[in-house]
């Protein structure tokens, strides 16, 4: 099944480009460490999922590029074409002349309706090129105006036009110390709207990725390109083909559907966090050796202690003692309760990995059987030169604190009525804000009381 | 890509404007090596085929033929505009873009606003329409004027009104030069306060400039060059006050150095709209992020570095120095000290070889020493543009919505009241058709209200932080 990617705004387009680059360089690489047959199967599956094969040879990404001003899209298109290994369809983009001005209301209420037809036509064309449509993957930031506002509108349109398809929104959360002054307003508006039309939100926080770049990747002068490449690596480690548990011998045909099924049992809980191990500079890879038990142990502790990377994990945090009848409020502080977890393992000796520690019922809420709450996808084919790598997609309290922080700051600003005139002039009123705050407070409350 | 139009009004406006066009051409020449007319150029320039005369058609793609500024030059005296038209920039301006008269406004806001406004209204509207028609997507009008005189102040604010009426969707950014205390125009307080009311009501953003600050910056650079220590290693074309390498290198007029600073301000403000970068900051984003309440739209600006030394290898310590300087009082373009006042919002637009980690590191470093209003503790808007200004490897423009503008306004009010109490020179204004005492009382009221809004915000500074309680959800 194929996935159509919709890249929205500057962030969405910059990341989208890195994602396709990473996917392409992975399948073209000789680091697979598996049989030729396995490798070919992997390549074919990836190509079917993300690329359209054209007679001229160079794979064409199944993507629609949307932005309200032209500079980023034109850069993105030309960078892809220059790579020689893949490209975008030269017609699959939509842009205007003047951006959204970091104004969510402008993106949602003005640009959305105005350009709905043109954008949806492009999406329809891409969807029709797929033999079987597996769903949509949108990439956007929630701090600006286009990715956030127009992104929320487009997600709604996708839901209306393709009611049976899966929609996964990749949302980038801005630096806490500010990239855009009205980022908290834009974030609240975006998240609450996406909650109503999307199937799941897969989140990356700039602060977290920045730390990974600084501490794990040893990059001195970190650029947005560096940040985006780490994000692309993490996304690739989730979306490259794998065998699902009961999926038979071939690669999984329905990645988005499988993801939703395993991770989103209840519509109130849609926020997914992502952790990846190991992460290191490419030139350190030949000197490093990993063992699965070590990787799994670290990843499990990262889950429990809500750590963002394999360094600086708090090993003191433990799940509550099994068997003791502790009400949910008695859970030890800082312990990250999960609803469902998905582990994706790639590389050497995957079949021998012991995952019992992730099936420990004390990690989870009591609603699902631990067998249902935890799933693992595997492939012996190594990813992106890492001999062994594991990704954890988690529906847990990972994002509770950052979400609470964003809502708190937005509320603080809202109470003073600052900047509201900028939104009301495009049709977003105070009542609309209040609705959004209510939705998110509900989400926060739900996740807090796990 | 969008276009912007510059409307330069009065003597000061036109002198600054002239410097702007000169430096804009220099900047584009440094970047555009192939001589092809591109989107970046189209932001401020049309590409015209003048072989068939000045009325030639616009060429949207291909080689550069003749570049024409998207500008309107207005002055009620002929001297300055004539000089421009006889100088090396004469071909940049279309003869149809000029509106001049002979006798000037006599340093009288009322003459500029009421008499000339009325007289030239149709003419101005027609010429504005023409310029707008040449634009594919007009985003912003930049007005450049001074506040203390008659034409720039009076007619300039009349044009501001007109722009709001005729082009309500287009942003209006005003660069206003405020008079200093020793201004030799006695009536400058009247003119400035009357103009302020218009700026309060009709501008989207105002960038106030004070000559004293420009003068101090020029002096600082002179001292640094003449001290002999660093003089020989400074790159001449990097000076924020210089136009070395541009068309007009020969004739250097007294205010040129100061005006170049303002020109550079406008170039840096618009760079991200014209050139690419990893985090673009367009003009509509500046307005969106820096104006929390409609009337509080006065932005204090600072440019760093003021010059570049010739050595290319820049340790990050020097980069950090650039950020520190942006917040120091002697880099601000008005007499103000933002560090000791209250920030409502702050924008940092970085150009050149600077990455997001440099930006974040410096924000973290400087934040503790700055005071932000309680509801905007992380009030930073950031932009990264890849193309540095001429002569630099990197530069920074800081725009602050900060209560430090208040002293400037209070002083203005005081100077106004000194004259107004004695009714000095009032008759020169009241005898103009359309002017009444109420114009004055409304204007001073408007200014007082604005000062009061800043006072209220200042009162919250340093006070206990009480976050409003959040919505409670029933479980």
At A6, which CATH number? 3.40.50.1440
Contact A177 B367 (CB under 8 A): yes
Is the confidence at residue A324, as pLDDT, over 70?
Answer: no
Nearest to A222 among B285, B355, B367 (CB): B355
B352 phi/psi in degrees, rounded to 5: 95, -150
Task: With cut-offs at 50, 70 and 90, classify the pLDDT of residue B184.
Answer: confident
**Beta pairing partners, B175:** B144, B207
Domain end call among A241, A269, A297: A269
Is B408-460 the same fold as B3-48+65-225+255-407?
Answer: no
Contact A407 B470 (CB under 8 A): yes
State pLDDT tens for residues B266-301.
Answer: 999 999 888 989 888 999 999 999 999 999 999 999
When pLDDT is averaged across residues A151-163 and rounded to a whole number, the result is 96
pLDDT of residue A245: 63
Is the confidence at residue A328, as pLDDT, over 70?
Answer: no
Nearest to B1 among A97, A178, A421 (CB): A97
User: What average pLDDT does the structure give for chain A?
Assistant: 91
By C-alpha distance, the chain A residue nearest B401 is A181
Reduced to 3 states (helix: H, G, I; strand: E, B; else coil), residue A274 is: strand
Task: With cut-offs at 50, 70 and 90, classify the pLDDT of residue B38.
Answer: confident
- Kindly indicate whether the ipTM for this predicted assembly is greater than 0.85, answering yes or no: yes
Predicted TM-score (pTM) of the model is 0.92
Measured CA angle at A200 (ends A194, A201), to 5 deg: 65
Q: Is A371 among the domain residues?
A: yes
Pair A290, A389 in one domain: yes
Are the C-beta atoms of residues A265 and A339 closer than 8 Å to each other? yes
Is the confidence at residue A332, as pLDDT, over 60?
Answer: no
For chain A, percent of residues with pLDDT exceeding 90: 71
State pLDDT tens for residues A338-383.
Answer: 999 999 999 989 888 999 999 888 888 888 787 888 999 999 999 9
3-state secondary structure chain B: CCEEEEEEEHHHHHHHHHHHHHHHHHHHHHHCCCCECCHHHHCCEEEECHHHCCCCCECCCCECCEEEECEEEEECCCHHHHHHHHCCCHHHCCHHHEEECCCCCCCCHHHHHHHHHHHHHHHHHHHHHHHHHCCCCEEEEEEEEECCCCHHHHHHHHHHHHHHHHCCCCEEEEEEEECCCCCCCCCHHHHHHHHHHHHHHHCCEEEEEEHHHHHHHHHHHHHHHHCCCCHHHECHHHCCCCCCCCCCCCCCCCCHHHHHHHHHHHHHHHHHHHCCCCECCCHHHHHHHHCCCCCCCECEEEEECCCCECCCCCCHHHHHHHHHHHCCHHHECCCCCHHHCEEEEEEEEEEECCCHHHHHHHHHHHHHHCEECHHHCCCEEEEEECCCCCCCCEEEEEEEEEHHHHHHHHHHHHHHHHHHHCCCCHHHHHCCCCCCHHHHHHHHHHHHHHHHHHHHHHHCCCCCCCCCCCCCCCC
Contact B379 A181 (CB under 8 A): yes
Range of the domain at A254: 2-269
CA of A215, closest CA in chain B: separation in Å? Answer: 13
What residues in B contact A10, CB-CB < 8 Å?
Answer: 279-280
What is B408-460's CATH number, 1.20.1050, 1.10.3470, 1.20.120, 1.10.287?
1.10.287
What residues in A contact B290, CB-CB < 8 Å?
Answer: 181
What residues in A contact B279, CB-CB < 8 Å?
Answer: 10, 179, 224
Contact A422 B291 (CB under 8 A): yes
State pLDDT tens for residues A384-405.
Answer: 989 999 999 999 999 999 999 9
When pLDDT is averaged across residues A224-248 and rounded to a whole number, the result is 88
By C-alpha distance, the chain A residue nearest B345 is A181
Pair A82, A202 in one domain: yes
Is the confidence at residue A435, as pLDDT, over 50?
Answer: yes
For chain B, percent of residues with pLDDT exceeding 90: 63
- Residue A300 burial (C-beta neighbours within 10 Å; 0-12, 13-18, 19+): buried
Q: Is A276 among the domain residues?
A: no
Instruction: Measure CA A93 to chain center.
Output: 22
Pair A137, A98 in one domain: yes
Q: What is the CATH number of the domain that holds A388?
A: 3.30.1330
pLDDT of residue B250: 47
* Residue of B57 and B368 predicted with greater confidence: B368
* Residue of A450 and A346 predicted with greater confidence: A346
Q: How many domains does chain A contain in total?
A: 3
Pair A263, A286 in one domain: no
What residues in A contact B350, CB-CB < 8 Å?
Answer: none
Pair A22, A122 in one domain: yes
Q: Which tokens go with B184? A: 């030799």
Is the confidence at residue A416, as pLDDT, over 70?
Answer: yes
Task: With cut-offs at 50, 70 and 90, classify the pLDDT of residue B182.
Answer: confident
The A63-67 sheet, strands edge to edge: A93-95, A63-67, A2-8, A133-141, A167-173, A200-205, A271-277, A388-396, A338-347, A374-379
pLDDT of residue B247: 55
Residues counted in chain B: 475
Contact A409 B276 (CB under 8 A): no
Is the confidence at residue B62, as pLDDT, over 50?
Answer: yes
State pLDDT tens for residues A31-41.
Answer: 878 888 888 88
Q: Which tokens go with B149? A: 């005189």
Task: With cut-offs at 50, 70 and 90, classify the pLDDT of residue B60.
Answer: confident
Task: With cut-offs at 50, 70 and 90, classify the pLDDT of residue B253.
Answer: low
Task: With cut-offs at 50, 70 and 90, classify the pLDDT of residue B158.
Answer: very high
A281 phi/psi in degrees, rounded to 5: -65, 145
What residues in B contact A441, CB-CB < 8 Å?
Answer: 470-473
pLDDT of residue B240: 77
What residues in A contact B471, CB-CB < 8 Å?
Answer: 411, 437-438, 441
pLDDT of residue B61: 79
B175 phi/psi in degrees, rounded to 5: -100, 110
When pLDDT is averaged across residues B37-43 and rounded to a whole number, the result is 89
- What residues of chain A, 44 to 83, have a C-beta less than 8 Å from chain B? 69-72, 75
pLDDT of residue B54: 58
Contact A180 B285 (CB under 8 A): yes
Pair A383, A409 in one domain: no
User: What average pLDDT does the structure give for chain B?
Assistant: 88
pLDDT of residue B341: 94
Is the confidence at residue B231, as pLDDT, over 50?
Answer: no
Task: With cut-offs at 50, 70 and 90, classify the pLDDT of residue A253.
Answer: confident
Most confident of A276-290, B314-328, B374-388: B374-388
- Enumerate the domain spans of chain B: 3-48+65-225+255-407, 408-460
Q: Could you give the CA distance from residue B41 to residue A126 in angstroms, rounded to a whole number?
A: 35
pLDDT of residue A249: 64
Nearest to B471 among A177, A225, A438 (CB): A438
Pair A251, A289 in one domain: no
Put simply, whether A10 touches B (Cβ < 8 Å) is yes
**Beta pairing partners, B394:** B352
Q: Is A314 among the domain residues?
A: yes
Contact B356 A437 (CB under 8 A): no
Pair A435, A424 in one domain: yes
pLDDT of residue B255: 82
For chain B, percent of residues with pLDDT exceeding 70: 92
Pair A425, A307 in one domain: no
pLDDT of residue B164: 96
Is the confidence at residue A247, as pLDDT, over 60?
Answer: no
Task: With cut-offs at 50, 70 and 90, classify the pLDDT of residue A202.
Answer: very high
Task: Give the 3-state secondary structure percentages of chain A, helix then strand then coil, rounded to 5.
Answer: 50, 20, 35
Pair A259, A359 in one domain: no
Pair A391, A410 in one domain: no
Pair A409, A293 in one domain: no
What residues in B contact A418, CB-CB < 8 Å?
Answer: 292-293, 344, 375-376
Q: Could you give the CA distance from residue B206 to residue B204 in angstroms, rounded to a whole number?
A: 7
Q: Is A25 among the domain residues?
A: yes
Put simply, whether A437 touches B (Cβ < 8 Å) is yes
Nearest to B278 among A70, A225, A407 (CB): A225
Q: The domain B3-48+65-225+255-407: what is its CATH number?
A: 3.40.50.1440
């Amino acid at each position: 099944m194929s996935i159509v990617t919709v890249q929205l705004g500057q962030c969405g387009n910059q990341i989208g480009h890195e994602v396709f680059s990473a996917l392409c360089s992975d399948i073209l690489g000789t680091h697979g460490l598996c049989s030729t047959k396995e490798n070919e199967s992997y390549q074919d599956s990836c190509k079917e999922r993300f690329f359209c094969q054209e007679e001229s040879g160079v794979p064409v990404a199944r993507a629609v590029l949307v932005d309200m001003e032209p500079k980023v899209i034109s850069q993105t298109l030309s960078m892809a074409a220059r790579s020689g290994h893949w490209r975008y369809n030269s017609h699959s983009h939509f842009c205007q002349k003047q951006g959204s001005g970091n104004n969510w209301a402008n993106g949602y209420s003005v640009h959305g309706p105005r350009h709905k037809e043109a954008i949806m036509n492009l999406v329809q064309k891409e969807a029709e090129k797929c033999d079987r449509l597996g769903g949509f993957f949108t990439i956007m930031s929630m701090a600006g105006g286009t990715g956030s506002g127009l992104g929320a509108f487009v997600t709604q349109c996708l839901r209306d036009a393709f009611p049976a398809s899966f929609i996964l929104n990749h949302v980038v959360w801005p630096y806490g110390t500010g990239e855009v002054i009205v980022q908290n307003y834009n974030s609240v508006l975006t998240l609450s709207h996406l909650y109503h039309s999307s199937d799941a939100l897969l989140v990356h926080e700039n602060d977290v990725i920045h730390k990974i770049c600084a501490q794990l990747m040893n990059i001195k002068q970190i650029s947005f390109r560096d940040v985006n490449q780490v994000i692309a690596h993490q996304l690739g480690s989730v979306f490259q083909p794998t065998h699902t548990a009961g999926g038979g011998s071939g690669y999984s045909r329905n990645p988005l559907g499988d993801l939703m099924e395993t991770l989103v049992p209840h519509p109130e809980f849609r926020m997914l966090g992502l952790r990846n191990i190991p992460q290191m500079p490419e030139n350190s890879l030949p000197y490093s050796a990993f063992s699965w038990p070590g990787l799994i142990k670290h990843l499990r502790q990262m889950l429990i202690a809500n750590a963002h990377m394999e360094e600086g994990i708090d090993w003191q945090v433990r799940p509550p003692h099994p068997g003791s009848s502790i009400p949910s409020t008695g859970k030890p502080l800082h312990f990250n309760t999960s609803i469902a977890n998905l582990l994706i393992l790639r590389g050497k000796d995957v079949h021998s990995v012991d995952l019992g520690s992730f099936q420990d019922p004390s990690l989870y809420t009591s609603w699902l059987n631990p067998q249902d709450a935890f799933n693992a996808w595997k492939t012996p084919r190594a990813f992106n030169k890492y001999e062994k790598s594991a990704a954890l997609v988690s529906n847990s309290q990972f994002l509770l604190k950052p979400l609470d922080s964003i809502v708190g700051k937005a509320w603080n600003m809202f109470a003073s009525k600052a900047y509201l005139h900028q939104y009301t002039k495009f049709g977003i009123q105070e009542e609309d804000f209040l609705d959004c705050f209510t939705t998110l407070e509900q989400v926060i409350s739900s996740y807090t009381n796990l | 890509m969008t276009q912007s139009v510059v409307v330069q009004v009065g003597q000061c406006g036109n002198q600054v404007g002239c410097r702007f066009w000169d430096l804009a051409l220099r900047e584009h020449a440094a970047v555009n090596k192939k001589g092809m007319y591109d989107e970046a150029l189209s932001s401020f320039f049309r590409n015209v085929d003048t072989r068939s005369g000045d009325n030639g058609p616009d060429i949207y793609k291909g080689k550069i033929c003749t570049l024409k500024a998207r500008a309107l030059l207005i002055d009620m005296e002929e001297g300055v505009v004539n000089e421009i038209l006889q100088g090396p920039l004469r071909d940049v301006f279309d003869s149809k873009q000029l509106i001049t008269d002979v006798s000037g406004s006599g340093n009288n806001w009322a003459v500029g606003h009421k008499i000339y406004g009325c007289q030239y209204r149709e003419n101005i509207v027609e010429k504005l329409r023409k310029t707008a028609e040449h634009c594919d997507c007009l985003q912003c009008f930049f007005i450049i004027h001074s506040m203390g005189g008659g034409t720039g102040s009076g007619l300039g604010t009349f044009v501001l009104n007109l722009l709001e009426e005729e082009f309500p969707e287009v942003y209006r950014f005003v660069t206003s030069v405020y008079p200093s205390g020793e201004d030799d125009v006695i009536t400058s307080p009247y003119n400035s306060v009357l103009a302020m009311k218009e700026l309060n009501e009709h501008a989207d953003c105002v960038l106030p400039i004070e000559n004293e600050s420009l003068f101090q910056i020029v002096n600082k650079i002179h001292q640094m060059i003449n001290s002999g220590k660093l003089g020989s290693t400074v790159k001449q074309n990097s000076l924020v006050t210089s136009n070395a390498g541009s068309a007009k290198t020969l004739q250097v007029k007294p205010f040129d150095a100061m005006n170049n600073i303002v020109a550079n301000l406008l170039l840096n403000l618009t760079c991200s709209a014209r050139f690419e970068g990893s985090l673009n900051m367009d003009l509509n984003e500046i307005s969106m992020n820096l104006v929390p309440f409609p009337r509080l739209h006065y932005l204090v600006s600072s440019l760093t570095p003021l010059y570049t030394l010739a050595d290319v290898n820049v340790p990050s310590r020097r980069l950090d120095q650039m950020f520190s300087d942006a917040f120091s009082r002697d880099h601000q373009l008005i007499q103000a000290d933002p560090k000791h006042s209250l920030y409502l919002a702050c924008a940092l637009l970085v150009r050149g070889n600077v990455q997001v980690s440099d930006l974040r590191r410096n924000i973290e470093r400087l934040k503790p020493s700055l005071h932000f209003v309680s509801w905007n503790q992380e009030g930073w808007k950031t932009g990264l543009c890849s193309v540095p200004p001429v002569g630099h490897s990197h530069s920074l423009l800081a725009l602050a919505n900060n209560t430090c503008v208040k002293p400037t306004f209070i002083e203005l009010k005081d100077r106004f009241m000194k004259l107004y109490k004695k009714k000095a020179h009032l008759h020169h204004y009241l005898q103009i058709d359309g002017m009444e005492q109420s114009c004055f009382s409304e204007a001073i009221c408007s200014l007082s209200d604005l000062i009061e809004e800043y006072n209220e915000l200042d009162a919250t500074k340093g006070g206990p932080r009480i976050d409003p309680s959040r919505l409670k959800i029933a479980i």
